Amino acid sequence: MKNIVRNTLVLAQGVLPYLQQVLSPFLTEHPYWELTFCYAVGLYGIYMALKQDEVNEVIKFIQDHPEEFRKEIVQSKEFQKGFLVFFEQYLKQRLEQKKKILKKILLGFTITKEKEKYELERLNECLGRISLESLEFLIFIKKDILPKIDNQIQKELKKDHYQKSDRSLEWWFSQMITTKSVWEVIEKLIYENYNPNSEKVKTMYGISKNEGWIPDLQHKAETREKEKRSVVNEAMTELTTLGILKTKPANITWGGGGGSDYIFTMFGIVFIRLINN
């Protein structure tokens, strides 16, 4: 195996001098990474030479996390296979926002003790497929919607039958978060900020409480709400297709929404926690 590593790195030196220049100092300091990068050079050598910035970023990322990328972890076959999945995606990725999430996905895979159960491929595939618009909408959900859902759950967890349960509050939280409506909170925000019947919207357009809508202004407000709902509905549909959300029958809507409610899947909770606000 050592001969294979040497031959591969010699190939990098002869055909891809840039890789030799970057990898040799790193592998001299971290020799336990040799086999992993041997595989990487063998599979993606030419592409690595064309993506020099990405290779440098990965090397720096590894050096910045010595505790996570310990020798015993890096030398395991499970990690080596997972790293190649990450590395291929990272070389192909052009969006900085997605690169940051890819790094978090790898870190999660690295530190877990149950690597076979970690949905590395699914997380990478989902990240690759999600549009920038839906990713930004998911950031909005994490920043403005999830805290409200968290507050709902925390209030419920104060009840005696949860406090005295033989299960931990963390366990109950993980069970409850996939039952709480995402759409209800979003719909309420849309109503308050876009619906012409909302006092906030009336104030925005200069309509006092004692006045009715001027037809032209009302049309503008209604068009604004329709445009917002169109963007939101498209993002919710995409997030459902990706398995981040799922639908269930809804009983109540705030401002004319559809008959379906949206809740998180367990996969969706894992995915959204990888995203920065």
For residue 184, pLDDT over 50 is answered with: yes
Among 9-13, 34-38, 41-45, 236-240, top mean pLDDT goes to: 236-240
Report the pLDDT averaged over residues 229-247: 96
Q: Using H for helix, E for strand and C for coil, what is the string for 171-228?
A: HHHHHHCCCCEHHHHHHHHHHHHHCCCCHHHHHHCCCCCCCCCCHHHHHHHHHHHHHH
What confidence tens digit (pLDDT) does each residue in 38-90 have? Answer: 889 888 888 888 888 999 999 999 999 999 999 999 999 999 999 999 999 99
Residue 2 has pLDDT above 60, yes or no: no
Greater model confidence, 255 or 87: 87
60: buried, middle or exposed (CB in 10 Å: 19+, 13-18, 0-12)? exposed
Within 10 A of 251 (CB to CB), how many other CB atoms are there? 7
> How is residue 130 annotated by DSSP?
S
Residues 6+ positions from 65 with CB-CB distance below 8 Å: 107
Per-residue pLDDT of 119-176, as tens digits, reads 999 999 999 999 999 999 999 999 999 999 999 999 999 998 899 899 999 999 988 9
Which amino acid belongs to residue 208? S
- DSSP letter at 31 equals G
Q: What is the pLDDT of residues 190-215, one digit of tens each?
A: 999 999 999 999 999 998 877 888 88
Structure token pair of residue 71 = 């020798």
Token pair listed for 177: 């978060």
Pick from 47-56, 71-80, 103-112, 266-275: least confident: 47-56
The gap from C-alpha 159 to its chain's centroid, in whole angstroms, comes to 32
Q: What pLDDT sits at residue 189? A: 93
Give residue 21's pLDDT: 81
CB-based burial label for 114 (10 Å; 0-12, 13-18, 19+): exposed
Secondary structure letter of residue 260 according to DSSP: E
Residue 257 pLDDT exceeds 90 = no
19-47 as b/e: b if 16+ CB within 10 A: bbebbeebbeebeebbbbbbbbbeebbee
pLDDT at position 254 is 46
pLDDT on residue 4: 47
Euclidean distance between CA atoms 40 and 26, whole angstroms = 14
Judge contact between 22 and 63, C-beta under 8 A: no
Q: Judge residue 224's burial from the number of C-beta atoms within 10 Å of its C-beta, 0-12 exposed, 13-18 middle, 19 or more buried.
A: middle
Asked whether 124 and 161 are in contact (CB, 8 A), the reply is: no
